[in-house]
DNA sequence: AAACGATCCAACCGCGTTTCG
DNA sequence: TCGAAACGCGGTTGGATCGTT
């Protein structure tokens, strides 16, 4: 005999969460904490599986979530960590208090990947795309030595405002990026992050403050997703 | 104003690992 | 010790929104 099943999947709700469901889940966790995700939906009165509740809490409802756009320095750190850790999003996210692995993964796939490609870098290997198995392909001709980045939307027939990066400029950017990566000491940075007054301690304070004030600052009737 | 395509992101799926009976 | 379920993670999807034609 192993554990009891997480859920029977019959009659369970799927898809986007409603405000009412969010409220139920938050109220339950605020009052009871998290001990076993399997029991959470049942005790909270939700027709969801524990897995779905866990995801909703982690990615959306957690009080210590930092919302808003990623800053440039956050992006740089993500790139640096990705070059060391690869697609281990939860590991990367653990160094950004208030950011979720899902959020970082989405940001990587929608923004940073493109940014690296524009720099002529392979987002997987962080190496120049011209390079295959250690050998550079033939020297690019003049047409190939230009990357064009549109920086403003086109209006009708108007010529788009563009930044032209020739091959040498792209290389300069890549060199800068490599220097940044080389000068980045992952170990000391990780130590520094973990020494920051212990994140768990900080989070518990934040949680407590949030729990104390949750009903006063959240007007659920007017809650906007 | 409508149609279409691109982009974003919340949520789901499936798999490997961990935990428990 | 073993097997089944829970957990956690990374990949993928689908719907909402935005921008362009």
| Bridge partners of residue A157, in order along the sequence | none
**What is the structure's pLDDT at A128?**
81
pLDDT of residue A97: 86
Q: Domain boundaries in chain A?
A: 19-61, 72-128+168-185
Specify the 3-state DSSP secondary structure of A156: coil
Is the CB of residue A112 less than 8 Å from the CB of residue A78? yes
**Residues A96-116: tens digit of each pLDDT:** 888 988 999 989 888 888 888
Of all residues in chain A, the percent with pLDDT exceeding 90 is 0
Asked if pLDDT for residue A11 goes beyond 50, the answer is yes
List chain B nucleotides near protein: any atom < 7 Å from a Cβ: 7-14, 19-21
Which nucleotide is closest to the Cα of A94 by its C1'?
Answer: C9
Minimum CA–C1' distance nucleotide for A160: C20
User: In the predicted model, what is the mean pLDDT of residues A161-180?
Assistant: 49
pTM comes to 0.69
- Report the nucleotide nearest the CA of residue A2, measured to C1': C4
Å from A51 (CA) to C6 (C1')? 9
Q: What is the DSSP letter of A57?
A: I
Q: Which of A124, A113, A116, A58 is closest to A85 using CA atoms?
A: A124
pLDDT band at A30 (very low <50, low <70, confident <90, very high): confident
Pairing relation of β-strands A135-136 and A146-150?
unpaired
pLDDT at residue A214 in the model:
42
Q: Mapping DSSP to helix (H, G, I), strand (E, B) and coil, where does residue A157 land? A: coil
Q: pLDDT tens for residues A34-88?
A: 878 888 888 888 888 888 998 899 888 888 888 788 888 888 889 988 988 888 8
Whether any strand C atom is under 7 angstroms from the Cβ of A9: the reply reads no
Burial A95-106, CB ≥16 within 10 A → b, else e: bbeebbbebbee
Cβ pair A122, A128 in contact under 8 A: yes
Is A121 in contact with A174 (CB distance < 8 Å)? yes
Q: Mean pLDDT across chain A, nearest whole number?
A: 66
Residues in chain A: 225
Beta carbon of A60 within 7 Å of strand C? no
pLDDT at A85: 86
- Which one, of A167, A175, A164, A174, lies nearest residue A138 by Cα? A167
Q: How many CA atoms lie within 13 A of A188 on its CB side?
A: 3
Residues 134-173 of A with CB under 7 A from strand C: 153-156
What is the predicted pLDDT for the residue at A31?
Answer: 85
- State which residue has its Cα closest to the C1' atom of C14: A15
């Amino acid at each position: 005999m192993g554990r009891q099943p997480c859920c029977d999947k019959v009659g369970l709700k799927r898809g986007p969460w409603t405000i009412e469901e969010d409220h139920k889940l938050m109220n339950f966790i605020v009052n009871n904490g998290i001990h076993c995700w399997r029991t959470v939906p049942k005790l909270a009165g939700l027709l969801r599986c524990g897995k779905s509740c866990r995801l909703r809490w982690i990615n959306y409802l957690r009080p210590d979530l930092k919302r808003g756009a990623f800053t440039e320095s956050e992006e740089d750190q993500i790139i640096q960590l990705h070059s060391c850790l690869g697609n281990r999003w939860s590991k990367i996210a653990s160094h950004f208090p208030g950011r979720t692995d899902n959020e970082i993964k989405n940001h990587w796939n929608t923004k940073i990947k493109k940014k690296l490609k524009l720099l002529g870098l392979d987002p997987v290997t962080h190496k120049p795309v011209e390079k295959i198995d250690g050998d550079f392909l033939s020297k690019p001709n003049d047409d190939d030595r230009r990357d064009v980045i549109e920086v403003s939307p086109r209006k009708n027939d108007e010529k788009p405002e563009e930044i032209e990066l020739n091959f040498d400029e792209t290389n300069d950017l890549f060199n800068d990026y490599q220097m940044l990566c080389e000068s980045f000491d992952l170990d000391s940075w990780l130590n520094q992050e973990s020494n920051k007054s212990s994140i768990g301690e900080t989070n518990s304070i934040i949680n407590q403050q949030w729990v104390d004030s949750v009903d006063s600052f959240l007007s659920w009737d007017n809650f906007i997703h």
